[in-house]
Structure formats: C-alpha cells, structure tokens
Structure 1
Amino acid sequence: MRILLYRADGVIEPWVREFAALMPQVETVAWKEGQSLPPCDYAVVWSPEPALLDQLAHVRAIFLMGAGVDALLKLGAALPPVPIVRLGDAGMGVQMAEYVAHAVLRYFRRFEEYEQQARHGAWNPLPQTPKEEFTIGIMGLGRLGLPVVEALRVFGFTVRGWSRTPKDIPGVECFHGADGLDPFLRATRVLVCMLPLTPDTSNLLDRHNLGKLLPGAYLINVSRGAILAEPDLMTLIRSGHIVGATLDVFRHEPLPAPHPFWNEPRIAITPHISALTIRHDAVRQIAEKITALENGQPVGDIVDRDLGY
C-alpha cells in the first residue's frame, strides 16, 4: 500500500515518521509540485494545490489532516469521486473549549479592563454582569461545538445553540435553520462562531445579522474567517453595538500588516491556534480508518460534498 502525503506548508517529515511507526508495512511518499509519483492508494492532505489533482486521480479515498474541508472542496468537480474523510475530534475539542472558555471569562470577568487599570496603578472593583443577563450563543453544534457547550455550562452560563439542522441537547435551547437564526441572535450577548465554511455561511456574520445581537455584544470566531464580514464588524465595534471580539481566524492568513484589526484594541487576535491538530492522534485515526476501508468496513466523518462538511 502506498499513501501520498501533502501539506501546503511543506511540514511532512513528522507525518512520515508517525505513519512509519503506526503502519510500518505502508510506503508513504511526499508530493511536491512538478513531481510525478507512482499511483497511490490513499492521500492524506492539507490545503492541496490544483496541481495535485493528477496524483489524486486513482486514490481510493482522500483524508484530511484537520477538521476543515473548505480548502479541499474549493477544487470542486475536479476532485475524484472517492470518499473524502475529515478528522474527528483528534484532540481538538478540548483545545477549542479551552480557548472559548478563556475568551468568554476574560470578557465576563472584565479582566482586560482590570489589566488596563493596573497599568495606571488604579484599584477599582468593577460591577459584574449577572449571569442570567449573559447569554452565550454557539453557532455550530457538531463534534467540536459540543465540548464548548459543556465547558461553558460548567460555569453556570445560559447557553443557546444554532445549527443547520435540529439538535436536542439537554439544558441548551436549540435553534436551527433560517427561521431560527433571528430569534437566536436577538437574545445573544456573546456569539461564538464554530460553523463550517460553506456557500451558505460565507459572510453570514454581516452587519445585518451581527446588528441583531444584544447591545454590548461580544464576538468569538474560531471557525473560518470568510464567515465574518470584517468591515461590518469594525463598523459595529466603532458604533459601540459590539464591544469587542476575540478572533482566531481571518479571511486572509496571516492577517496582513495594514489590516485595521491590528490597530483596534477591542479586538484580540490569535494566529489560528484555537485548536491545533495533534499529529499522533490524527495519524492514529487515519490509520484506523484506512484499515477499516481495506477490510470493507464503514468509516465515519465522510464529507458530504453537497453540504460542504
């Protein structure tokens, strides 16, 4: 068996070593643009280039090195008609819960304001918002969204959720579809975006929808930058309707030096690190799924190309 490996950043050797340890009987080959490889049985990729398509023509399945699928699906109908398999959790759910909980608590407990006071030598306890007035809305209730819901409920926050299809989560008021979006947004104080990027979610968080949030709202985006209309967020922050944001993902990454977000103190920026792939867990998961496919067994996490995730 031969497995093709490709990452846009070129960091392949650690993946080669992990596959060699878990699947010593398998040959792994790393593809570089302009190179022609012998036919491969499977491909494991991240952010592939169109030039890779010829190498994918005969694979039995394509595996992703992360949870997002938009970078692969943008190749469209040119992709071979084989299963595309995304990672399950692979250690990312806990990291996402850590990141979001930190951002929520930093806003709720007014820690940034205390830091500013401390820099000026001020000792001034600030009033705290009652939790019943601090409703948190989670957009996206999939495998990574559920650990975030659970983490926030530990602190006693009221958590609501919105998803494309109906969900039933104990203790969480759930909304779904276009009809559920408006009532979901209008009672949300902190909005956490964990949606996949699809044609339906592109620019979903624009001035129209963000403007429905409660006055003094806060935004946390850990999904994909293209879901957020960035100029609209700046407009709403400057107006005071949204008091701030924690953003881990952006339309263009790395975030360009002249981008206005860099000079807006009410926006906290991190470099797409809210949930990093734990390579050993990812390779173990991929190896198990390849073995299942080889034995004619079903595997989970197959991407629905029509839905985009």
Structure 2
Amino acid sequence: MQEDVFKIQVIVNKQSICVYVNDQVIYEKIGTVAERTHAGMHVVVLHPTGGHVKLARQFLTHQPAEDRNLAACLESLMPGNILVVAAVPDAVMFLGPDAVALLEEMGASRIRHLARHETWVMVAHTPTRVQRPPRYHYPLRRPNVTAPGTPLGRVWGEGVSTRRPGRVGPSASLDFDVFVPRFLAVQCEWHQDETLREQREFCERYDGYVRLCNCQDPITSNFRHSAEKINIREVIPLAMLTAIKPFNFYRQLLNLLETPGASQTPILVLVDGYQQEIVHLTKLFKLDVLVHRPQGEKGSATLLNMHFRFSVHNVFNFFPEAKKAIVLEDDLLLSPDFLS
C-alpha cells in the first residue's frame, strides 16, 4: 500500500502549521502567540507520482487584497497535481469572492462558510479546465457568490475545526490525515520534443507556470524575441533584481518580454543568493544571470543594500559600453510604454 499511495498529514494549531508526506516534514511555518506569522492561507502542490514539492506559498489573507495573489496562484496551477490547502485562523478576514470561487472549483465545500477563527484543510487533485487569456494584472472576475461554484477537482479529504458558540479565540487544533493514490503526471505532446527537454524538466519540478507548461501552445525561449520593435536612439541595458520570490520574478519577466522594445533591450538577471528555481527559469529564456552571495543579517537593510551595490556595479561591468542602465525590483508591473 505504501508504494501505491501518499500518506498526507496536516497539523494546524495556534503556533504552527506542518505538512507531512509519508511521515516526513515537507512544509512548516511556526509563529508565536503574539506574532502569528503562520497565519493566512497556505498552498502546497506535490508531484502526483514522485511526491516532491512543486510549489509552496503562504498568503496573508487577514490583510486586504492578498486574496488576489491567492486567486492568481490558483489560476496558475497545472492540472493533475496534488493540492494541499490550509486556512489558519484569521485566513478568511479578507478572503474575497474570486479566491472562494477558485477554491470551490478545486473542490472545497466548506470554505465559504468558514468563520474568522476556524481552521480548514483540503487535499485534492488540481482540475483540468479551459485556460483563460493571459493577463498583465490580477484576476478581476466577478463570480456568482450566492451559490457554490461547480467543483472540478478530485477531493481526497476535507476537514474543518469549528468554534463553539460563545467561545473566545481560535478554534481547536486540527490534525488531518488522508491517503492519496499515486497518479501519472499529465503528459503533453510537446514533451516528446527533445529541443524542449529542459523546459519539460522544469515543468516536472515546479508548478505555477501555466503559460510555460501548458499542453496547448506553451511559450518557449523564442518568447524572448517576440515583442514589438520600436525606434531606439540609445541601447540601455536592463537589470532585473530578484531574491526569494520566483512567482514575482516570473510575472515581471513575462510582463517585460511582452513590452514593446524588449527584444532589442539587453537584460541581465541578478539573484540575491542561489535560487535554483529562478536560475533555471532564467536559462530557459536564454538570459544572462549573475548570482550574488548574500552579505548581511537576514532581514537587515545591509542585506538589501549590498545586493543593490552588487547589481549596479555588475550591470556596468557586464555592459561596459553602457552609460546608463534601468534597474527593476521584481515586485513591479510595467506599463506598455515603459521601454519607449
């Protein structure tokens, strides 16, 4: 039985959330009573055959507008993977209708009825659905929130810990166990193309890159030179600064490569610390990348300042003919006339 299934356990309490696969910790967030840094909505995606983590993200949905990030993440998932979603108490304070509709599309039956201090967990397989047109911005759909959405995913288990009437504070802890059978991963026709082997391996390892991994017309390295050309009087190189958020970098990268003039602009990616996912993604688009060894204490201004210094210094070393450069942090979205 152990060869045919994954044993998935999720434990949520006042101080932590922990996800186990076959009794091994694969995701953990620990807070304190005063600073509940584990709060919010947690999304973990596992490979359906190998069981390795393809995506792990936390969304602070007790803060306004963070549910847009959650909705964008759910829309970016490939079909057929194992999805673990957990709502720590306070997760539904600003959980908007877009995120609720998408969770119900995944198979959730209790999320719209969850109260502020209650805990909820679901394990499902991500559904196959019609891909929507790509966007520059967050989802802005207006689903019908008067009735639950139609579930498309295959749910293997769902649990909720509710509050007693009149009780103050969070609900009791939730200890959730489920067995999920192993499935073969989705196979696309382009997986047989040997020239796209690195892209296939990337999509096997990571999730959240639906435009890159989609079975129908995925973007490839040719996307680097697909932008509309503009009249350029001076070639100004562009430095993309990133660190630990590949989803921000990926969103900005596609945004940039679709901007008129991008195909004529030299691009250098500068990563603060070796992040295999970002480096692998950068090489898929045949972009130059430099990795900076972090300097300074975690969370300090020194760490960020030293990365800026490294980036400004190296962009002019890398492009010695340049007299000026554009420096971008990865949490920005660009207007269509940005380069012009």
TM-score range, shorter chain: under 0.3
The structure whose residues are more often strand, as a share, is 2
The structure whose residues are more often helix, as a share, is 1
Q: Which has the higher contact order (CA 8 A, sep 6+)?
A: 1
TM-score, normalised to structure 1, is 0.26
TM-score, normalised to structure 2, is 0.24
